[in-house]
Structures are given as structure tokens and as C-alpha cells.
Chains A and B, each alone.
Chain A
Amino acid sequence: MLTLRTVPSFMCLLLPVLTWTACSDDDAGSSTGPGAAGAHATGEAGEAGETNAGKVGNGSAGEAGSTGDGELGGAAGASEAGAAGEAPVAVGGSGGAAVGGNGGTAIGGSGGAVAVDPLVGAIDTVVFVYAENRSFDGLYGNFPGAHGLSDVLDAQGNPTAAYLPQKDRDGVTVLPKLPKTWGGATAAGNPTVIAEALTDNLLNQPFSIESGFVTNGGLPLTTADVTRDLAHRFFENIMEVNGGTNDQFAAFLDAGGLTMGHFDYSKSAMYKLAQQYVLADNFFEGAFGGSFLNHQYLICACAPQAPASFVASNLPSINVLGAANGKGVPQLATNPTSPASALDGPPSFKTGNIAPLDYFGAGDGYRAVNTMQPPYQPSGNAPVVNALDLRYANAAAATTLPAQTQTTLGDLLSAKGVSWAWYASAWDAATTDGRQASTAPRMVIYAPSTPKGSPDFQPHHHPYNFYAAFDPAQHPDVRTAHLKDYTTLVTDIASGALPHVVYYKPTGNLNQHPGYANADDGDAHIADLVSKLKAGPQWAHMMIVITYDEYGGQWDHVAPPKGDKIGPGSRIPALIISPYAKAGTVDHTQYDTASISRLVTRRFALPVLSGLASRDAALVANGQSKMGDLSSALNLP
């Protein structure tokens, strides 16, 4: 199995054209063709530049000129600094140039010969598919060539010295066994039942969910079974990761020992796609914790703001922190009823939706870190009683987040005239469902999914709907242009009408989220979508990235790189599927959720979101590598 270089390719891109190939040669282990490929790139770049003119800002003298303070110097940073000035975002400053995106457009800046980022000629359509709640080890721990469970288990499945055993809540005591899986390992009514008692006495080590309970007298499970949900919240995830030792998952999870379980996913369609194309094995959730924050981070590389006035009037729940542990890792305060030992039951934390005041920095105020609801329908909160305008959620609810105004990737794409859309299954039905009187029963939003599957639409999985730019009264046209239903995605694929940037979010029954979906149904759905994309007219210049929003409470053995206060958190699977993919390889480059944004930023020469730059700055300050932009997974000409 080929492994890819870990040197980020943007470093090469930032150099003059003629050194590009040399740079490529220098990248140990690179599987991109050197020499000839480099020459080819130059030729094609010109054409690509022309065909994309108007959509992609080709580097011009006008755009160069202002400075980027990035570490790689002004020349490359300059390429987008001009554009940055147009967007309401802090760009160009701290490390903007170094992010890699910027180098793309105009290498050499105002110099005579303009070379275009080979990504521009190769990739015209970027498709992100966002499934739910699986850690890397949980699904791909046995993937050949990837950093999986064999890092910590020997051939017999016994832990090696590299395995850091799970510790109890005191942070010291090694758990003599895994805690039970509280409430049992299977969701209520699942045809096979693994009762709580049958989850006891598991060894303190990773285990197979399929066969792990058999020694206790349980029946084998499969990826068609719905296992119980595991909590996935911001501070809890920080405590579980425990500064990188990942040794307090079992201690702080509400589900107990199930966190150490993994599936054999090798029979799945997505696993086969990963073998056929590229699996990234060093890809982390952009933010610690749950879906809400990671979806927000995906689009803005930020944590949403909760104005002090909102906190004062709506009284949302606020996390309460106790003293940090000996490693300096923040610890939630516990309730008196919280058992001292993880063996005795799930923890009870003083947890909430809002981080403590100024958690992210002095004077920063409040930010939302766990699930809040959008101010616009479809929202988890119905319109106010007797609402005149049913398009809004009840703004007085403790969980309705005021409209957000930080810059999003969508803003930057729109400002640049690059087409994009967020597609979602059941979007239209959920919008209709949400725009009903407060007394009407809701049948789609957070609606129960039956065994035969009703959609179960989850409003907190749709981050753009939290933003003032999508206010249904002020900007109905923006909503129509960018927020679309899955049915439209299917027709756009078939007719070749996909925008440049495509996000797709499946509903609850199809997103593989433990507790309410099995792995198989979402697998089939996403694999079917990939088939449709491959059959569509835009496939030749398409890059599909399938990833998970977050870890879903499941242990992963790799320490997340030390970044900023938002993240990155635990490792998640990511697949890169494209005609340009380095087929059959595992990409070890370090990525996080926002690497998707980095790729788009680079490909479409956008200003750099300040959160991307500050993440890299924090990584570097902590002696870590910057986040890659996923291009290492591609054979670029």
C-alpha cells in the first residue's frame, strides 16, 4: 500500500513555477509524477485559467501588492490579499498565505509568466458528503496500510505496550475492566438485544462490537444493528481525549465501555470505495464535541457567538468548569450524584450549551459549543404562539441562537461569484413542517423514524440556516439559491448542473449515527449517491470528500494535534473520491474538517477565513504541522 507524503504540497505551489517539479521530486514518497507532470501542469494551467475566467480570480497585478505576513513570505500571500480586502474577514495577516489555498491562483504574482494552480484545471466540482458520528478506529481500524488498531494491538488482538489503557474518573486508576454499556449495547427494540449485564467484564482494550459480547452469552451483532448512542459534547470530548492520551473515554462517556468497540466495516460499499480511491487516516474533527459545533466549524472555522444580551434574556444552559486536571485539561464540574468511579455508572456533569464567559479568550464573550437551534425554520423550536410570520423559530426560547454574522465560506464563494449549494435530504419537507403554527404536530423535524424510515430531519445539522445572510424575510432569494433538497441534487447531478461547491447532508435515518441509525443504511445511501455522481456529466473534474461530522463518542487511539481552543478533536474517517485520486492509497497528511474549506479556498482563490489561519498559527505554536488542504490525495497534473 502506497503511503503519501506528509509535506504539504502548498509549500511547493508557493514557489516559482520552474521549481515546482523539483519540489515534487523532493517530496519523499510522493506518487505524483515528477518532471513530465510538472511540465504538463504548466501547459494545462493556461487553458484552465481561461475556461475558469470570471469564476476564479486569476492572479493579476491588482490583486498582488498588499502583503501577507504569512511565513512563506509576501509573494504568494499577495495573490489574494487584494480580494481579502473586499470581504469582511481578517485575511492576509497571520499566516494567511501559509494556509495553502492562496498560492493557487497566481503563482509568481505580478511576475510575467502566470502559472495556475494545477488544482484549477483538475477539479471543477467539489462535493462534500457529511455523515455522522463514527471514529476512525470505529469503522476503519482494520484498514490495510492505515494507522489503525494494529498500532495498539498485536496479531492476536492483545494490547501492545503502545496501548494506553482507559483510566477511571480520578485520572490515575487504570480501570480493571471496561465499564458496562449503560442501558445495554443495542437500541431499544433492535431485533438482537445486548442487555447491560452482557456488556460487563470486558477487558480494558478495544473490542469487536460484532463478537465482543458473545463471551458474555450475547448474540453476535452486525453493521445492520442499531447500537446505543454515545454522548458527544464539547467539554466531555476534551476530557476524554485528555491532552492526547485518549485514556478517559470510558470514564467520561455516558455509554460506558461501548466507546472502545469497533466494527468490521470491510464488507461495506464505502470501505470498498476507500480501497478503490483514497482513505485519509490522519483526519480530525475540526472541533471537539458534537454535530452542532462541527457543522458550524465546517462553514466558518469558528464557534458561533452568543451575545451577552441573549444569555441574559434567554438563559441558555452554560457549562460549569471545575479545576483543570493535572495536565491542564479543562474539567466539567460534576453533580453530587455523579458516581466517583466509571464502573458505577455514567457521569453527571454540569454541562450546557454555552461555553463559560471568555472561555475562548479574554473579552471574547460567550460562544455556543453544544446543540443550539437555528432562528429560522426548519428549526427545532417552533414559531412563537400565534406567530404572524411562521418562517422564524421562537426567538425567546433558551435554545434559539440569535442569527450569526461571522464570515462563512459561503459568503466568500458568493462574493467571488462561485456557485455553491447546501443540499439536504428532506429539506423541503422540513421547511414546510417547521413553518406550521406552534401547536401543529411536527412530522419531519426531529421526528421519530420508524423501522421503515421516516426522514428524521435534524435542524442543527444545517449550519447556514443559523446565519443572518439566510434570513427568510430579508434574503429569500439567497435561501432559494443555496439551500436545496436532495431531489434537486439528484436532478442537478444528472443534468450536469451541479454548482462548483456542493455540500450534502443526509437525514437521521441515513447518516449512520449510532442510537438512531445503523451503519448499513447510510452506507448504501451514500454509495448510491457516489454512483450517481460518477455517472453524471461532471464526474471527470469532480472531487468527492466523504467524511463524518464527529467521533460520536467513540474512542480513537491517535492523539489529535494540539491546535486552538475549538479543536481539532478526535480522528474521523475521510474518503477522497475523484478521477484524480491517488487510487488505492492511504493519505497520511494531517487534515481536519476545515481542510475541506482549505481546499475550496485554494481552488477558487478565496480570502482565507481567519479561523483557518488561527488554527494553523496555533498548531505551529504548539510544534505541530499545519492542516493540509486534501490535495495530497490527488494526482495533480
Chain B
Amino acid sequence: MSLRAGALSLLLVGLGASGCRTADAADTSAAASGISRGPSAARPAASSATARAFYADRFSKQPYMPDVMALGRTLFFDPVLSASGKLACASCHDPRFAYGPPDAEPRGDGLRAVPALRYLQSVPRFAEHYYDESVDESADQGPTGGHTWDGRADTLHDQAKLPLTSPAEMANDSVASVVEKVKHAAYAPRFRELFGGNVFDEPTRAASALLLALEVFQQSPKDFYPYDSRYDAYLRRQGELTAPERRGLSLFEDPKKGNCAHCHPSQYRHGSAPQFTDFGFAALGVPRNPAVVRNRDPKFFDLGLCGPLRTDLRSHPEYCGAFRAPSLRNVAVRHVFFHNGVFHELERAVEFYAQRDSNPRKWYGKAAAFADLPADARSNVNAEAPFGRKVGQAPALDANEVRDVVAFLQTLTDADLR
């Protein structure tokens, strides 16, 4: 199974994979991920299976989870966690912006836009072949799931490691060095109370406690998935949408118009509130962002699933250029859109979908379409509606319709952000 771009394009790219490899060679920060994805060794012995498990009992005291959640909140807002002592998780993942970036400024090396951290509680682990038991469980949905734009972190604690040690972000040389700072922080006694007096005796145990606390904080329902947008109220028959919002919803769902709900489902699925993402991957062919430092090298391409940050799928040219569909909940409070943050206004992002293929000149100028991908990966780009129009055809959505879709997207903002 493949990306949802469609099988046709995949057949075309199977022969030339070199573009992806070139990009990988340029990669320097992949090692920061700390995630091993190599072919599995022989099945580990019984004892080691449990010993290696992150969630196994490794603390001398069983922590009470609501307290761990509170400790995680403290850590999340503490700049001590960064090498500079100036950058907290919350600096880039600002609670006033759905735990996303507070402005349009590039962060770190600016390679990828800072994702929002709300509504990540049901992100499945990454799978190349994904069967959604809650929809049509017979269908292979292709690559799906995982945290970050390329899905390379399976859990929130795996994810938490990435920014702590990424040179472009908090820039610690190891998680152990973060632990060393936490050990001397004002809340260190709290660690001992929750996880046992010996929690700092072993760096790995203390690192587990630290990552667990960050993970558990991000599972706080009222902070991270309140489901209290105006649209949630509308679905529960507790509120109304305005006429433009209703029109926007209809365009959002119409397979012949926006077709947005195809990848960003907007309705309850079997009793579960809509996540506005199916956690799938797609290559959208967004324009190259000149603000990305590494883009100064014309041979550099960020190829998402097949590199450079992710390293286990380099040999899959059919995945090059694909990034995970983010949730559109709270999208209206964002200032950067798509994986490279090339657009800074929501309306512009919606226009891109509506006009990418009917008016490519507007998006790519004199460059070739999809110029942010190497030539041999451009056939991976999704051509399903609203894409797939011919140059000069009417756009999938006209100006009024784009405005209506934006009006609808604004109803997805949680109550505390309005």
C-alpha cells in the first residue's frame, strides 16, 4: 500500500530513488532522534524485554499520575531544560496558541514549522500499513501515525527527547545533561517524593521520570484536548453555526469542492469526536520556503518520510515529500502553515489547495511546479480533489468559498483561545 496520492504516480517513480539519498547525505541532525528503527535483532530474552520497557516498573515508588501531570506542567514551562537556560518547551509550544508557535518567526533552523501539541492523544504509532478498525478495517491506509511531521516518534516521551537534544532546539548534548540540571532545580524534591528517593541515583531512571512527566502533562484533558470549540458544540446540538460557517463546512466536506474532510475528517466516527486528521501522509508540493536556512543549498530537499530527519524509509522513493496531516483543530490561531511554514495566513493556505493546479504560476512563479521536491519525487504529489485541475481551469474554490472555508475553520478554535 502506498500514500494516498494514488498508485499511478508510484509506478513512475519506482526506478529513480537517488534524489532521496542525496538529501540524506546532507543530513546532520538525524542522529539526534535517538530512535532506533533498524531491523530488529533476535527476539530479546524474557527478562530483557521487560527490563528495557520504558513503562515498566522502574521507580522505587509508584507515582500518582495526577501529581506527575502537575510536575510535567512545571517542567514544560521551565527554561532550565534548555542548554541556554532561556528556552522552555512553552517558548515554542505556547498554550495561548494551542501549544503551537506564538508568531510566524522561524524557530531553530526553521526547517519545519513548530507543530501544535493539542489533540495528539490518539495519534497511533507509525505504521507503513495501517488498518483503521474504526472506519473500514479491511482497507490498508498506507503510512499513518507517529508524532512530528514525519511520524518518527511513536510516543510522546520519544517525541520529548527530540527537542531536548536537537541542536536547533534546546540543544542539550544528552538527556543526561538535562537530568543533571533538573537534579538541582527547585522541584527536585518533588521528583524524589513522586518517584522515590533514589530517582536521581541512575541517570536513565531520572531521564525516564523526566520524559514521563512531560508525556503525562501532555495528556491532561483540559489542557490538551478540551473538545469545547464552537464546532464541537454544534456537533452536540448545543450550538449553531452561522450561514457562512455552514457553507464552509459543506465545502470542506464536499468531495468535489474542498474535499478537505477526506484527510481531515470532520464528523464523529463511531462515537469518537473528529480529530480533523486521519494521521495519514501526503505530498502536497507546497512551494519552497526561502526562509529555511538549509534551502540556500539548492540541492537540499526536505523529503519528510524518506528523510533527512527520519532515516528508516530512505529506500522508499514513493514516500518522498510526504508529511503527516496535522489536525486542523485550532488552525485559525496559527501563523505558519504546512511543514516548511511557507504560508503565514490561513486564507492563503486554503487558497493554495484551491488554486495549486489551476494557477501554478501564482505559487511557484517561474520555477517548476513542486520545485521544493527533486524532479523524481514530484510524481508523488497528491492530485486528488481539490487538486488535479488543469492550468487555466476555474479553481476548486472561488474567493467567496475560500472565505467560507476559513470561516468554518475558525469554529474549530477551543474556548480558551477565542
Name A's B-contacting residues (CB within 8 A). Answer: 168-170, 172-173, 175-177, 179-180, 183-184, 187-190, 193, 195-198, 200-201, 216-217, 226, 229, 231-232, 254, 290, 292, 317, 334-346, 348, 351, 353, 370-373, 380, 398-399, 439-441, 446, 448-452, 456, 460, 508-509, 513, 515-518
Specify which chain A residues have a CB less than 8 angstroms from the CB of B295 in the assembled complex.
none
Supposing A196-B219, A341-B52, A341-B53 touch, asked if A187 and B272 sit within 8 A by C-beta, the answer is yes
Specify which chain B residues have a CB less than 8 angstroms from the CB of A373 in the assembled complex.
136, 138
Supposing A188-B272, A341-B50, A370-B138 touch, asked if A176 and B267 sit within 8 A by C-beta, the answer is no
Cβ B140 vs Cβ A398 within 8 A = yes
| CA A200 to CA B54, docked complex, whole Å | 12
Nearest A residue (CB) for B255:
A441
Specify which chain B residues have a CB less than 8 angstroms from the CB of A177 in the assembled complex.
57
Partner of B43, one of A170, A254, A513: A170
Partner of A195, one of B129, B139, B220, B269: B220
User: Given contacts A373-B138, A399-B139, A449-B268, could you give 6 more A-B pairs where the C-beta distance is less than 8 Å?
Assistant: A170-B43, A184-B219, A188-B273, A372-B138, A450-B267, A515-B134
Cβ B265 vs Cβ A188 within 8 A = no
Residue of B48, B54, B134 with most partner-chain A CB within 10 A: B134
| CA A517 to CA B216, docked complex, whole Å | 27
Main secondary structure of the interface of A (DSSP, over half): loop
Supposing A188-B275, A344-B55, A380-B138 touch, asked if A517 and B270 sit within 8 A by C-beta, the answer is yes
The stretch of B15-23, B60-68, B191-199, B396-404 that contacts the partner chain:
B60-68
Contact residues, B9-50 vs A (CB, 8 A): 37-40, 43-50
Asked whether any CB of chain A lies closer than 8 Å to the CB of B122, the reply is yes
Cβ A456 vs Cβ B49 within 8 A = no
Asked whether any CB of chain A lies closer than 8 Å to the CB of B345, the reply is no
Asked whether any CB of chain A lies closer than 8 Å to the CB of B94, the reply is no
Nearest B residue (CB) for A445:
B136
Partner of A334, one of B40, B65, B124: B40
Specify which chain A residues have a CB less than 8 angstroms from the CB of B154 in the assembled complex.
337, 345
Specify which chain B residues have a CB less than 8 angstroms from the CB of A340 in the assembled complex.
40, 43-44, 48-49, 52-53
How far does the Cβ of A318 sit from chain B's closest Cβ, in whole Å?
11
Nearest B residue (CB) for A368:
B138
Cβ B273 vs Cβ A346 within 8 A = no
Specify which chain A residues have a CB less than 8 angstroms from the CB of B225 in the assembled complex.
188, 193
Partner of A380, one of B128, B134, B139: B139
Nearest B residue (CB) for A348:
B127
User: What string of 1s and 0s marks CB contacts (under 8 Å) between B61-87 and chain A?
Assistant: 010111011000000000000000000
How far does the Cβ of B264 sit from chain A's closest Cβ, in whole Å?
13
Q: List 6 A-B contacts (CB under 8 A).
A: A168-B46, A187-B271, A188-B275, A197-B69, A200-B65, A515-B271
How far does the Cβ of B417 sit from chain A's closest Cβ, in whole Å?
18
Cβ B255 vs Cβ A180 within 8 A = no
Cβ B138 vs Cβ A193 within 8 A = no
The stretch of B101-109, B231-239, B348-356 that contacts the partner chain:
B231-239
Supposing A336-B40, A371-B137 touch, asked if A200 and B55 sit within 8 A by C-beta, the answer is yes
Interface size on B, residues (CB 8 A): 69
Contact residues, B119-133 vs A (CB, 8 A): 121-122, 124-129, 131, 133
Specify which chain B residues have a CB less than 8 angstroms from the CB of A451 in the assembled complex.
235-237, 268, 271
Residue of B1, B38, B47, B268 with most partner-chain A CB within 10 A: B268
Partner of A399, one of B43, B46, B138, B220: B138
Cβ A380 vs Cβ B136 within 8 A = yes
Cβ A189 vs Cβ B44 within 8 A = no
Specify which chain A residues have a CB less than 8 angstroms from the CB of B47 in the assembled complex.
173
Supposing A197-B65, A450-B267, A450-B268 touch, asked if A370 and B137 sit within 8 A by C-beta, the answer is yes
Specify which chain B residues have a CB less than 8 angstroms from the CB of A317 in the assembled complex.
1, 129, 140
Nearest B residue (CB) for A180:
B55
Cβ A449 vs Cβ B44 within 8 A = no
| CA A508 to CA B127, docked complex, whole Å | 26
Cβ B122 vs Cβ A351 within 8 A = no
Specify which chain B residues have a CB less than 8 angstroms from the CB of A172 in the assembled complex.
46
Asked whether any CB of chain A lies closer than 8 Å to the CB of B186, the reply is no
| CA A509 to CA B203, docked complex, whole Å | 49
Partner of B232, one of A189, A217, A338, A341: A189
Partner of A183, one of B52, B65, B121, B128: B121
Cβ A229 vs Cβ B133 within 8 A = yes
How far does the Cβ of B166 sit from chain A's closest Cβ, in whole Å?
21
Supposing A189-B227, A200-B55, A516-B134 touch, asked if A448 and B140 sit within 8 A by C-beta, the answer is no
Asked whether any CB of chain A lies closer than 8 Å to the CB of B155, the reply is yes
| CA A229 to CA B124, docked complex, whole Å | 13
Cβ A168 vs Cβ B50 within 8 A = yes
Specify which chain B residues have a CB less than 8 angstroms from the CB of A200 in the assembled complex.
55, 65
Partner of B65, one of A190, A216, A342, A343: A216
Nearest B residue (CB) for A442:
B255
Asked whether any CB of chain A lies closer than 8 Å to the CB of B56, the reply is yes
Specify which chain A residues have a CB less than 8 angstroms from the CB of B215 in the assembled complex.
197
Asked whether any CB of chain A lies closer than 8 Å to the CB of B388, the reply is no
Residue of A175, A180, A188 with most partner-chain B CB within 10 A: A188
Asked whether any CB of chain A lies closer than 8 Å to the CB of B256, the reply is yes
| CA A183 to CA B275, docked complex, whole Å | 13
Partner of A341, one of B49, B134, B216: B49
| CA A372 to CA B136, docked complex, whole Å | 9
How far does the Cβ of B173 sit from chain A's closest Cβ, in whole Å?
26
Specify which chain A residues have a CB less than 8 angstroms from the CB of B8 in the assembled complex.
none
Cβ B40 vs Cβ A515 within 8 A = no
| CA A170 to CA B127, docked complex, whole Å | 22
